[in-house]
Every structure is written in C-alpha cells, then in structure tokens.
Amino acid sequence: MVYERTSMGRGMGGVGLVKEHNEKLFTRTFSLYLASTIINFLGTGMHGIALPWLLLEMTKSPLSIGILLCIRALPGIFLAPYAGYVADCMDRRINCFLMNLLQGIVVFVTVGLGYYGLLNQFYIYSMALLISIGNTFFFPGIRAYIQEVVGKANLLRANSLTESLTQAGMLIGTGTAGLVISSFGTMTALFIDGCTFLVSAICIILMNKTKASFSVKPQKFAILKTKFEVLKYVKTKFILFVTILLLLVPTFCVQVNNVLVGAFTMDLLKLDASAYGLINLCYAIGAMLSGFILASLTKKRVNDKYFIFVSILALGLFEGLFGSSQN
C-alpha cells in the first residue's frame, strides 16, 4: 500500500499530516517486532509437532494426544479474558518478553529432563500447559503492541505484513520439525524450539521503549460479562442455538484428526516424524489457503447458507476418504 503526499502539506496542520503519511514503516523497533513474532510462531509450529510425536514414542497411544490437546485448550478457555485485560493494563513489551522467557525456560527444563532420562507424561503435560498459558498472554499482547510500534498511517500495512510473515514462520516450523526429529531426534527439535523462544524474547527486549497507545483503563471483567450476556441472548434464539450446535461438528472432526493423524502415520503407515511433519504442513497450508478463499468469496457476496452447506458436505466427503485410506 502506497501513501501519497497530501497537498495540504503547506497549509495549517498540513505538516503533521505529511509526516504521518510518509512515516517510515521499517524502523529498528518494527524490524525487531517482526523478527520476534516470526521466530515465536516458528517455535510454536515446531513444538506443535515435537510434543505429540514425543508422546506417541513414549505411550504408543492416541489417547495421550487427546489429553495433550485438552490441556492445551484450557488456558484459552479460562484465561483469555484476563489475557486481554493484562495486554491493556501492563507494559506490553514486558508482558511479551516474560511470556517468551517462560516458554523458553519450560522447554529447556523439559530437554534437560529428557537428557537425564527423567521425562514422563506428567512433565510433558505440564510443559504443554505452561507453554499454552504463555501463548494465551503473548498473542493478545504482541498484537496490541503493534499499535505502539507503528504510526496510524502504517497500521494496516504493518498488520497485513505481520500476519503473512507469522503464518510463514508457523509453516516453516511445522515443515522443518519433522525433518529435525527424524534426523537428530525429538530432544534436538525441542532444544531448537527453546532457542526460538529465547531469541524472540531478546528481540523484544532490544526494542525501543514506546509510549502506550491506550488511555482508558479497561474493566477487569468486561469481556467475561459480555460472554455471559451473549449466552443469555443465544438462549432466546432457538435457530442461533441450533446453528452453534452444528458448528461443533466440524470442530469435532478437526480435533479427532489432530488426535489420530500422528498414530495413523506411525502405526498404519509405518512412517517417521518427517512424514508426520509433512502431513501437518499440508494441513496448515490448507488452513491458510482457506483464509484467502473466504476473503475472496466475501467480496463476491456468496450466499452464506449455501457456502456453509457445501463446506460441511465437502468435509464429510474428505473425512470418509481419510478414514478409508490405507496409504
């Protein structure tokens, strides 16, 4: 997106407007912001492969993956309202630094336990919970912090660039994790994962201090209160309630896939972690492409009802193909 110089530059108030429209995007702070976010997502993609594979190596049971996914989801369910509150009240730079530091230390402790043969399921689940807590507080903080890093004229461009590059970081982490595990072992992949969190933390602490963009102190339970009001509203609208129940179907299918794909790769296909990483990479690419498809369909004003019908029909078809596949 290119911002043109305004003709008001010589008039009253024009100097500020010209400055805003020509404000440099790639400052030192924004470059460090991008690096920190990309590296963090790379680590997130990597441990998303390493942890399930480590559990499968230890237990040979898909049930352990199901427990892992449930544990990962808990902080998002119970702590998300407080994470938004912290992102608006606490210094966002310090918040993001501490969350990265927490995640890096947790991963290195896990690697140390694995090196001395002390690692078990309890430690892995504890690690997953702490990393998920870190993510729950890191993501709102880092997304809100961009308002302080760039000017208003560059905010849209900065957001778009950040989203694209962080998704690329996630894909790289997901794609390389399997190769690292199959070549050097799961602990090596986790060690690299820990390094990504620490490097991300260093990038954050090297950023220049910025002036907070918020001025009104948020109410601690505002988001939680809003959720209860939404639930009350849903209860009064039967068709909306049914629609929400139907949405549980594709979500259920996705979570079942997350549980079974690792075991499918290891037990049925007799393949290693590199194949598991490749399958998850394709999964991530599909998710990213669906975002572009949805954005283009929104512009064309496709009928939502028919689009949802076709989407769920396609999901059912491909789930059947996946279930009947042996190769």
Residue 12 has pLDDT above 60, yes or no: no
Portion of the chain with pLDDT greater than 70, in percent: 83
pLDDT per position as a tens digit, 240-276: 878 878 888 888 888 888 888 888 888 888 889 999 9
pLDDT in tens, 115-146: 999 999 999 999 999 999 999 999 999 988 99
Higher pLDDT, 178 or 212: 178
| Cα–Cα distance measured from residue 308 to residue 306, given in angstroms and rounded to the nearest whole number | 5
- What tokens were used for 136? 């729950």
CB 166 within 8 A of CB 41: yes
Q: Residues 73, 78, 80, 81: what is their CA dihedral angle, to the nearest 10 degrees?
A: 160
Mean pLDDT of 158-177: 88
Mean pLDDT of the chain: 82
Q: Cα–chain-centroid distance for residue 145?
A: 16
Under DSSP, the state recorded for 1 is -
d(CA 31, CA 162): 10
For 120, other C-beta atoms within 10 Å of its C-beta total: 11
Q: Determine the Cα–Cα distance for residues 310 and 80; give it in Å rounded to an integer.
A: 32
**13-22, 71-80, 197-206: segment of lowest average pLDDT:** 13-22
| pLDDT of 15 | 41
**pLDDT score of 221 more than 60:** no
Cβ-defined contacts of 305-314 (< 8 Å, 24+): 311/250, 312/246, 312/249, 312/250
Give the total residue count for the chain.
327
Q: Is residue 296 within a helix (H) or strand (E), and if so which, with residue range?
A: helix 273-299
Cα angle: 16, vertex 20, 25; to 5 degrees: 150
65-115, pLDDT tens digit by residue?
989 988 998 998 888 878 888 888 888 999 999 999 999 999 999 999 999
- The segment with the largest mean pLDDT, out of 9-13, 193-197, 212-216, 282-286, is 193-197
**DSSP string across 157-183:** HHHHHHHHHHHHHHHHHHHHHHHHHHH
d(CA 205, CA 92): 11
User: Residue 311: what residue type?
Assistant: S
Q: DSSP class of residue 117?
A: T
The span from the CA of 95 to the CA of 87, in Å, is 7
How confident is the model at residue 184, as a pLDDT?
93
Residue 1's pLDDT is what? 35
pLDDT band at 215 (very low <50, low <70, confident <90, very high): very low
pLDDT tens column, 143-156:
889 988 887 888 88
Give the mean model confidence (pLDDT) for residues 182-186.
92
For residue 6, pLDDT over 60 is answered with: no
DSSP 196-224: HHHHHHHHHHTSPP---S--SPPPTTHHH
Q: How far is CA 119 from CA 58, 66, 109, 110, 324, in A?
A: 10, 19, 10, 7, 36
